[in-house]
Amino acid sequence: MANANENTYGAIADKYAAQYGIDPTTFRNLIRSESSFDPYAINPRAVNGENAAGIAQFLPSTAQEKGVNVFDANSSLEGAAKYLSELTVKYGSTAAAIAKYKGYTDINKGIAETKNIVGNAPVVDNASPKSMIDMLKSPVDTAKGVGGKIADFFMSGFYPILIGFIGLLIIVLTIWSVFKSK
C-alpha cells in the first residue's frame, strides 16, 4: 500500500526503473523495504561502521563511489536504479542483485530472505559458473536480453581463453613456418 512519500516519489522511481531496465514494481518494493520512500531515513544499524541513509539507503562509501547525494531523492533513486541494474548484469538475476544491494554476502540466503521484494526468482548458485544452457534458460530480466547473456558468457571465461589459444596457435605456426623455410 502506498504512503504519502511513495505517492510523492513513486513516479520518479518508476522513471528511473524504466530508464535502467528494472521492473518498476520490483524497484518500488525495494525502495519501500529500504526506507518506506522516506528521503531522510537513516538506518542506525551499522554495516562496517557505516549507517545507511536516504530514500535508497546508500552506505556513505557506496554513495560516494556512485556519486549519489543520499538526501536528494532524485539523485538517490537514479543512483539506486543504476546500481541495481549493474548488480543485475553482474549477478545474472534481479533477485541476486537485490540480495547484494541489501548487503547479503550469501546470495542464496539473501534471495530467500528478500523474496517478498522480487517474488519467486530463481536461486543463483554463486559457487559455480553458469553454463550457457543455464544462462539461456534463466529469465531475461535485464535490458541486455539474450544477446547480452551470450556476450556475458563469452566474456566470462570462454572468449579470453579462445583468444589466448588463437594467439598461441599463430605463434606456433609462425615459428613452424620459419623453421620449415630453412
DSSP string for residues in 131-161: PHHHHHHS---STTHHHHHHHHHIIIIIHHH
Name the catalytic one among 6, 34, 50, 78. 34
**How many residues in the chain?**
182
Is residue 100 within 8 A of residue 87, CB to CB? The reply is yes
Distances (CA, A) of 49 to 1, 43, 45, 52, 180: 33, 12, 9, 10, 66
The alpha carbon dihedral of 61, 44, 109, 5 has a sign of negative
The reply to whether 65 belongs to the active site is: no
Gyration radius of the chain's alpha carbons: 21
| Residue 49: φ, ψ to 5° | 80, 5
Is residue 93 within 8 A of residue 121, CB to CB? The reply is yes
| Catalytic sites, residue numbers | 34
